[in-house]
Amino acid sequence: MLVAGATGAAAEPVPEFDFADCPALPAGADPALWRCEVLVSTGTLTFGRFHEMPVRTMRTTFAEGTLDGRHAQVFGALRAEPTPLPGPLPVALRPRYAGHFDFHENEQRKGEIDLAFALEGPMLPRTCASTPVHSVVQEHGPAGPVPGHPGVAKFGLVDRQLTVPATTGCGPLGRLLDRYLGLPSPAVHLQTVYVKMRGY
């Protein structure tokens, strides 16, 4: 994803990048062969009874480089703002990292990540979420450097094969939430992503 900066064009607004979540490198890794990447994305999520619901900012940080002559990655963090769900219930949706990622792109996909969609509200326990889902994203639309912001690139991602399963850990409100949200349900996740990286 290494992209050279562009100059000589009007700047567009871009998010702020914070490298505080850059992970420690594996034992034996040469820092000169590694970089930390921060992806900041917004977009829409379609599932159940919600069509193209705007999803607030999600920030994903990871490192990638070479270890023992082979490509390697280390996850840093996923931090997402809660997205209030439309309708009368005071419930918000927040993506959480669910233990697996691979952002080494190939011809079949741009990357993949396991997510759980946490449901937050005044009457819901902290354990309330969807069971984890495996998201495989494809590049969507134009991609390239952002004029006026050296080192920043922009691209689109889409997962049209995502499924949001029924909730778990929501207590007695679980079945009510599933009916209200229309879960389990096929889903489509569209994202606009800004990325910036730095060395170690």
Q: How far is residue 127's CA from residue 124's CA, in Å, rounded to a whole number?
A: 8
Does the pTM exceed 0.85?
yes
- Residue 11 pLDDT grade (very low, low, confident, very high; cuts 50, 70, 90): low
Over its C-alpha atoms, the chain yields an Rg (Å, rounded) of: 18
Contacts with 24 (C-beta within 8 Å, 6 or more apart), sequence order: 74
- Average per-residue pLDDT in the chain? 92
pLDDT in tens, 48-67: 999 999 999 999 999 999 99
